[in-house]
Protein backbone atom coordinates (compact mmCIF):
# COMPACT_ATOMS: atom_id res chain seq x y z
CA UNK A 1 0.00 0.00 0.00
CA UNK A 2 2.66 2.67 0.85
CA UNK A 3 4.01 2.45 -2.71
CA UNK A 4 0.52 3.18 -4.04
CA UNK A 5 -0.62 5.94 -1.69
CA UNK A 6 0.76 9.38 -0.95
CA UNK A 7 1.24 9.78 2.76
CA UNK A 8 2.66 12.45 4.98
CA UNK A 9 1.77 11.33 8.49
CA UNK A 10 3.61 12.77 11.50
CA UNK A 11 2.84 11.84 15.09
CA UNK A 12 3.98 13.08 18.48
CA UNK A 13 3.74 10.61 21.40
CA UNK A 14 4.16 11.16 25.12
CA UNK A 15 3.95 8.68 27.99
CA UNK A 16 4.79 8.64 31.71
CA UNK A 17 6.57 6.36 34.11
CA UNK A 18 4.33 4.90 36.84
CA UNK A 19 4.20 7.04 39.97
CA UNK A 20 6.53 9.41 38.12
CA UNK A 21 9.55 7.35 39.18
CA UNK A 22 12.59 9.29 37.96
CA UNK A 23 14.22 8.54 34.65
CA UNK A 24 17.79 9.35 35.63
CA UNK A 25 20.40 10.86 33.29
CA UNK A 26 22.18 7.47 33.27
CA UNK A 27 19.01 5.80 32.03
CA UNK A 28 18.28 8.29 29.23
CA UNK A 29 20.83 7.08 26.66
CA UNK A 30 19.91 3.37 26.79
CA UNK A 31 16.22 4.26 26.96
CA UNK A 32 16.34 6.55 23.94
CA UNK A 33 18.56 4.10 22.02
CA UNK A 34 16.04 1.29 22.63
CA UNK A 35 13.20 3.50 21.38
CA UNK A 36 15.20 4.62 18.32
CA UNK A 37 16.20 1.01 17.53
CA UNK A 38 12.56 -0.18 17.73
CA UNK A 39 11.60 2.56 15.28
CA UNK A 40 14.44 1.64 12.91
CA UNK A 41 13.46 -2.04 12.99
CA UNK A 42 9.79 -1.33 12.29
CA UNK A 43 9.16 -1.01 8.54
CA UNK A 44 7.18 2.14 7.84
CA UNK A 45 8.29 4.04 10.98
CA UNK A 46 10.80 6.88 10.84
CA UNK A 47 12.05 8.35 14.13
CA UNK A 48 12.63 12.11 13.98
CA UNK A 49 13.15 12.98 17.65
CA UNK A 50 13.15 11.62 21.19
CA UNK A 51 13.33 13.59 24.42
CA UNK A 52 11.80 13.89 27.82
CA UNK A 53 12.21 14.63 31.48
CA UNK A 54 12.72 12.55 34.59
CA UNK A 55 9.00 11.61 34.50
CA UNK A 56 8.09 11.10 30.86
CA UNK A 57 9.19 10.55 27.25
CA UNK A 58 8.29 12.28 23.98
CA UNK A 59 8.70 10.62 20.57
CA UNK A 60 8.24 12.20 17.13
CA UNK A 61 7.82 9.89 14.14
CA UNK A 62 6.73 9.78 10.55
CA UNK A 63 4.72 6.68 9.65
CA UNK A 64 3.25 4.91 6.68
CA UNK A 65 -0.52 4.29 6.68
CA UNK A 66 -0.06 0.54 7.25
CA UNK A 67 1.15 0.99 10.84
CA UNK A 68 -1.16 0.09 13.73
CA UNK A 69 -0.45 3.01 16.07
CA UNK A 70 -1.54 1.45 19.37
CA UNK A 71 0.29 -1.81 18.65
CA UNK A 72 3.46 0.06 17.69
CA UNK A 73 3.55 2.29 20.79
CA UNK A 74 2.79 -0.71 23.00
CA UNK A 75 5.82 -2.46 21.54
CA UNK A 76 7.99 0.65 22.02
CA UNK A 77 6.97 0.98 25.66
CA UNK A 78 7.41 -2.73 26.35
CA UNK A 79 10.83 -3.03 24.72
CA UNK A 80 12.19 0.20 26.21
CA UNK A 81 11.21 -0.74 29.78
CA UNK A 82 12.64 -4.24 29.31
CA UNK A 83 15.97 -2.92 28.01
CA UNK A 84 16.45 -0.37 30.80
CA UNK A 85 15.29 -2.70 33.58
CA UNK A 86 17.56 -5.48 32.29
CA UNK A 87 20.59 -3.19 31.90
CA UNK A 88 20.24 -1.68 35.37
CA UNK A 89 19.10 -4.98 36.95
CA UNK A 90 16.21 -3.27 38.67
CA UNK A 91 12.53 -2.47 38.10
CA UNK A 92 13.12 1.21 37.28
CA UNK A 93 10.82 1.68 34.30
CA UNK A 94 7.15 0.77 34.58
CA UNK A 95 5.18 2.81 32.05
CA UNK A 96 1.67 3.96 32.82
CA UNK A 97 -0.96 2.26 30.71
CA UNK A 98 -1.91 5.25 28.60
CA UNK A 99 -0.18 7.61 26.24
CA UNK A 100 -0.86 10.75 24.27
CA UNK A 101 -0.63 10.93 20.50
CA UNK A 102 -1.14 14.02 18.34
CA UNK A 103 -0.87 14.26 14.57
CA UNK A 104 0.67 17.32 12.95
CA UNK A 105 1.74 18.58 9.54
CA UNK A 106 5.19 18.44 7.95
CA UNK A 107 5.23 22.24 8.24
CA UNK A 108 5.15 21.90 12.06
CA UNK A 109 7.92 19.28 12.27
CA UNK A 110 10.72 21.78 13.12
CA UNK A 111 8.92 23.35 16.10
CA UNK A 112 7.70 19.97 17.40
CA UNK A 113 11.28 18.63 17.23
CA UNK A 114 12.61 21.73 18.98
CA UNK A 115 9.96 21.35 21.67
CA UNK A 116 10.87 17.70 22.27
CA UNK A 117 14.63 18.43 22.29
CA UNK A 118 14.13 21.12 24.95
CA UNK A 119 11.76 19.27 27.28
CA UNK A 120 13.68 19.87 30.48
CA UNK A 121 13.88 23.60 29.79
CA UNK A 122 10.17 23.88 28.93
CA UNK A 123 9.21 22.16 32.17
CA UNK A 124 11.67 24.23 34.21
CA UNK A 125 10.34 27.50 32.77
CA UNK A 126 6.68 26.44 32.67
CA UNK A 127 6.47 26.93 28.88
CA UNK A 128 4.97 23.55 28.05
CA UNK A 129 2.55 23.09 25.17
CA UNK A 130 -0.49 21.44 26.75
CA UNK A 131 -1.52 19.59 23.59
CA UNK A 132 1.86 17.80 23.48
CA UNK A 133 1.85 16.97 27.20
CA UNK A 134 -1.58 15.33 27.52
CA UNK A 135 -1.94 11.59 27.98
CA UNK A 136 -4.89 9.30 28.39
CA UNK A 137 -3.97 9.00 32.07
CA UNK A 138 -4.24 12.76 32.74
CA UNK A 139 -7.73 12.16 34.18
CA UNK A 140 -6.20 9.78 36.73
CA UNK A 141 -3.71 12.36 38.07
**In this structure, what CATH number is given to the domain that contains residue 133?**
3.30.70.1290
Buried b vs exposed e over 24-47: b needs ≥16 C-beta within 10 Å?
A: eeebbeebbebbbebbeebebbeb
Q: Considering its fold, how many domains does the chain have in total?
A: 1
How does pLDDT run along the chain (141 residues), one tens digit per residue?
Answer: 456 778 999 999 999 998 767 899 999 999 999 999 999 999 999 999 999 999 999 999 999 999 999 999 999 999 999 999 999 888 789 999 899 999 999 999 999 999 999 888 887 878 877 878 888 655 544
Strand order through the sheet with 56-63:
45-52, 56-63, 9-16, 100-104
pTM of structure = 0.89
Domain of 122 in residue numbering reads as 2-140
Amino acid sequence: MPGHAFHEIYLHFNWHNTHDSPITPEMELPLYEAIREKCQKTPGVYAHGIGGTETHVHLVIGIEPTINISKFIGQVKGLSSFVVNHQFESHLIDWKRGYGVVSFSKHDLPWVLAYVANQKEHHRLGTVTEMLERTETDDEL
